[in-house]
Structure 1
Amino acid sequence: MVSKEIADHIRSWRLIVLMSLIVLTFVTAMYVSLSNIGAATGNLSDPDHTFLYLKLLTATDKVVPPFHVFISFLGPLLGISLGFDAVNREQSSGTLARIMAQPVYRDNLLLSKFVSAGLVVTVFFTSLILLMVGGGLFFTGVRMEPQEALRIFAFTAFSILYVAFWLALSIHLSVRFRQAATAALTAIGIWIFLTVFYQLLIKLLVRAILPANPEILPSEQLIWYENMILNLLRIAPGQLYTDATTTLLIPSVRSLGPVTMEEMAGAVPAPLPFRESLMIIWPQVSGLLAATTVCFAWTYYLFMRREIRS
């Protein structure tokens, strides 16, 4: 069943179009990064200037954003396109009842939908990252350090998890709504709300709570407000992805929240070890993993209790 679903995804025109778009943005971002890699690695004041392969994913000319910014925008569309009609398409075409008439468990059908799309996304992102590493080695001739390899493949794994969340959400909507168009529009609406309007609502809430002149507040209270704003923003999966990828690809990032002058006293700007960066982003990783698991478990519950008629 998984191989059949993978074959259907590969032959799908919408997947081909979206993958072509992501490959195009990848090539554009890599071209801009290679064009600016000399300035990025030659800046001795930058504590991360020795990480050449990480600079390939973060260097920019201030016009074209880096690749991980493109993924934060296009990744949800990829996940939604792979799952919005996973179940309701089978039901509208009449094949769902015939499949269930065979000796096939319902959970196997649902798992095959999720696993097949997840494997397609995994192979796709892994191929892009290997292409980036090979291109960097070909054009620069600089070998990759183990620290860079760990961070790049952790970035790839988190990108796959980010797309998997939107895949699980779209499959859930495919089970809940009988029309594929309704499921697609609802998923895109949720994505637009969490990406654009949610941040606007948080900003309006902050403007209503904070005084007109926030500088009059004590530093402890101001830090408490900033932490509260960040925690509210991190409800959105896009913010979790941005926090995690920024920490992984920029090793000198030491904190994802406000830092007082007392905490900064004596700190030497230097890249953190991979383990320390992973500890910083562990709440983001566990939060996105928990959201994906809860969403798929809810889908599983609804699908197992659903009545299927021919």
Structure 2
Amino acid sequence: MNSQINIYKTAKGIRKSNPFGVVLHKEMADHIRSWRFIVLIGLIILTFISSMYVSLGNIRSAISNTNDPDHTFLYLKLLTTTDNSTPPFHVFLSFLGPLLGISLGFDAINVEQNNGTLTRIMAQPIYRDNLLLAKFVSAMIMVGTLFFVLTLLMTGGGLILTGVRMEPQELLRILGFVVISVIYVGFWLSLSIVLSIKFRQAATSALTAIGIWLFFTVFYQIIVNLAIRSILPDPSFLSQDQILRYNEFILDLLRIAPNQLYTEASTTMLMPSVRSLGPMTMEQMAGAIPAPLPFRESLMIVWPQVSGLIGATAACFALSYYLFMRREIRG
């Protein structure tokens, strides 16, 4: 009798409030109390601190290097300067970001169904799309908040230690880098949610997502290089235009991997002197002055990469929506 009263009160409360908001707050609370989320946050914060420590130790030599066209951007140098002992922060994030997205979504649906809570949730006046969207948005809010806090820490620490004011150009580029990083994590989150719907066991979905990540990170470039060497002719016997098309074709194949898109986009945002992400002829380079580009032009360069990540994320989420709507949740 008491359980029926509690279910009635819960259903009545959901009817009065927004079902999406109720599930969103519940999912965010679960993430905050999750040990795996805390551990991954700790790893990202430790890598951030180590990268900042190395950057601050080498920031004086990086700024005094007049041969570098980006030497005047102090806060961008904090994210890109390294002494070759540890990679810069954006390289660390290209490895840890997918793990963060996978950890937040690999058991989004299958654990709910295995524990029997999915049937109870669906018995309330909550639509399936509200549940799925709340799981995605709650994880994205947590990731966005984490990256934004790290940006504030980096800005505040640089201001206290150096006393140099941040320029608007640097602020826009750092915020652009944060947005691109959140989109990159969102792709792996949406992919892991698809696998959590497809596979009933959480271990299977987690191993599949990690396998896909390892394939694109480690093996995909090796496979592309071997395929290119076995199929295409030797570049030494090609003309300049043929070599240009040859390199463009290889880049197009590599850009199928999401980590390649993220690396190109983040590098262009944090290094204003990057003028192109593809091969350039000597005629195109003739007369070019090595100078940093405005933020708008850098954004136009990376827009194909950013739109590719957004499109891949939307495609994975649409697939998860389709599979979840056709999923039998009883039993």
| TM-score of the two chains, using structure 1 as the length reference | 0.99
Residue in structure 1 matched with residue 33 of structure 2 by the alignment: 11
Determine whether 1:160 maps to 2:182.
Answer: yes
Residue 211 of structure 1, CA deviation: 3.5
Residue in structure 1 matched with residue 80 of structure 2 by the alignment: 58
CA offsets, 1:94-134, max 9 Å, x none?
00011111111110010110011010001001000110011
Q: Which runs of 4+ in 1 moved over 2 A?
A: 209-212
- Aligned-partner residue type, residue 242 of structure 1: T
Match of 1:286 among 304, 307, 311: 307
Residue in structure 2 matched with residue 303 of structure 1 by the alignment: 324
Structure 1 unpaired stretches of 5+: none
Residue 45 of structure 1, CA deviation: 1.2
- Aligned-partner residue type, residue 218 of structure 1: S
Alignment of 1:167-182 (within 5 A): 167-182=189-204
Match of 1:137 among 150, 159, 166: 159
CA offsets, 1:255-302, max 9 Å, x none?
001011010000000000000000000000100000000100010011
Residue in structure 1 matched with residue 104 of structure 2 by the alignment: 82
Distance in 2 between the 1:210 and 1:226 partners? 11
Residue in structure 1 matched with residue 292 of structure 2 by the alignment: 271
Alignment of 1:130-279 (within 5 A): 130-212=152-234, 214-279=235-300
Determine whether 1:106 maps to 2:136.
Answer: no
- Aligned-partner residue type, residue 185 of structure 2: V
- Aligned-partner residue type, residue 227 of structure 1: E
Distance in 1 between the 2:42 and 2:121 partners? 32
- Aligned-partner residue type, residue 201 of structure 1: I
| TM-score of the two chains, using structure 2 as the length reference | 0.92
Distance in 2 between the 1:137 and 1:216 partners? 54
Structure 2 unpaired stretches of 5+: 1-22
Residue 215 of structure 1, CA deviation: 2.2
Q: Secondary structure at the match of 2:69?
A: coil
Residue 207 of structure 1, CA deviation: 1.2
Residue 206 of structure 1, CA deviation: 1.5
Distance in 2 between the 1:107 and 1:171 partners? 13
Distance in 2 between the 1:220 and 1:231 partners? 16
Residue 210 of structure 1, CA deviation: 3.7
Q: Secondary structure at the match of 1:103?
A: coil
Distance in 2 between the 1:109 and 1:216 partners? 58
Distance in 2 between the 1:19 and 1:132 partners? 16
Aligned length: 309
Q: Secondary structure at the match of 1:170?
A: helix
**Cα root mean square deviation, aligned:** 0.7
Residue 305 of structure 1, CA deviation: 1.2
Residue in structure 1 matched with residue 66 of structure 2 by the alignment: 44
Match of 2:141 among 107, 119, 123: 119
Distance in 2 between the 1:287 and 1:191 partners? 17
Distance in 2 between the 1:129 and 1:203 partners? 36
The share of aligned pairs that are identical, in percent, is: 70
Distance in 2 between the 1:110 and 1:210 partners? 45
Distance in 1 between the 2:295 and 2:59 partners? 22
Distance in 2 between the 1:224 and 1:67 partners? 33
Residue 308 of structure 1, CA deviation: 1.3
